[in-house]
Amino acid sequence: MSSNGAGKLLSEYRKGLRPKLDERNRLIIPTLDIIVALKPKWVIFENVPNMKNTVILDENDRLVNIIDYIKERLGNEYVGNAEVVDAADYGIPQNRKRLITIFTRSEIGKEFFELTNSFIPETTHSQNGENGKKKWVTLRNAIFGLPELDARKGKEKNEAFHELHFVNILDDKKYTWVKYAAEGDSAFNNQCINPECGFQGNRRHGATIDKKDGINKYNKDTPLYCEKCGSLLPRPYTIDKKTGEKRIMKGYVSAYKRMKWDEPASTLTQNFQYACSDNKLHPEQNRVLSIYEATIIQSISDYDYSFKINGKLAKTGVIRDIIGESVPPKLIDIICRNILLIESGEHKKLKNAYKQLSLL
């Protein structure tokens, strides 16, 4: 939810109207009931960045920002805050921004927080590798050279390589759209494939800001037929049930879009194995990501893992949901190792260094 959205809800609430809220966000209430009862030394929450602006109706039917609610419930015994981090900044081959909220009642932790105002470890990577950091780990670094797959029957899996290296089969129509999409581009921008024409200047798809509501909306005038020869373009389309007429499919330029080899992957979601999902097509092969490739991008493959239950592989949908909803384990590993380092008292060296600098 944007800050504007949160402001609108507050305005409705003050007018005596009961705003529409996602009831799932109120799960923080029983979660904090447990935390307050058990009083753990450290508490870590993870969610989408916009959670920072989310409001809930608390147990007293009071509209409150969720981060403020956490602080209120934990009281003065805990210190901490919420910060947005990008997994790519820690050597994970994926741009995945998450809101990490950490609080502690540890005396050593409190001392560290007073010194740094953060429990988030220093980043190790950056886009260009400046200030002594390594460059982001790209898709090329992560999955280039794996056995090829194709979204055609008989070529969609390679179980001899890995049981999770498989993709969905695409029908002829979708396969054509995907086939002509260039690296880093969407099938909505495919150009004429008529061998007698081959015109490459057809208007591209895009989005514009609606003047009335300020919402970014996809263009509705994207051509489906070549503007030079009139041939059907290999762009996503639907067929009108009443007229039988083909029309451009509703969708943003991020749909049916190939990723780029030399960038981290975009954020994996539960729908990463669907061609229409945001920016999830393989950079050059005619397919989406395999489940196995997703475990690499999510850093799951860095650890001893299994998706088997009683010796049987879980359903694909379940595995896909787990990957899409999970936090990259490497990110949590780095955060928890940093907490252990704080608890070891290593930060006191930093504190002494600051003292020395203040005397200069």
* pLDDT for position 287: 97
pLDDT value for 252: 80
**What does the pLDDT look like over 266-304, one tens digit per residue?**
999 999 999 988 889 999 999 999 999 999 999 999 999
Of 122 and 14, which is predicted with more confidence?
122
What architecture does CATH give domain 3-134?
Answer: 3-Layer(aba) Sandwich (3.40)
Chain segment 133-171, per-residue pLDDT in tens: 999 999 999 999 999 999 999 999 999 999 999 999 999
Q: CA 226, 231, 235 angle in degrees (round to 5)?
A: 65
How much of the chain, in percent, has pLDDT values that exceed 70?
Answer: 87
Contact 21, 55 (CB under 8 A): yes
CA distance 215 to 208: 8
The whole-number pLDDT of residue 17 equals 43
Percent of the chain with pLDDT over 90: 81
For strands 97-104 and 125-126, give the pairing. unpaired
Overall average pLDDT of the 337-353 stretch? 78
* CA 114 to chain CA mean position, Å: 31
pLDDT at 322 over 70: yes
Overall average pLDDT of the 58-67 stretch: 92
Which alpha helices (H) appear in the chain, and where do they start and end? Answer: 3-14, 28-38, 66-74, 107-116, 139-143, 172-179, 291-297, 316-325, 329-343, 347-359
**Quick check: 255 and 186 in contact, CB under 8 A?**
yes
The mean pLDDT value for 204-224 works out to 70
Q: Report whether 19 contacts 9 (CB < 8 A).
A: yes
pLDDT over 90 (residue 353): no
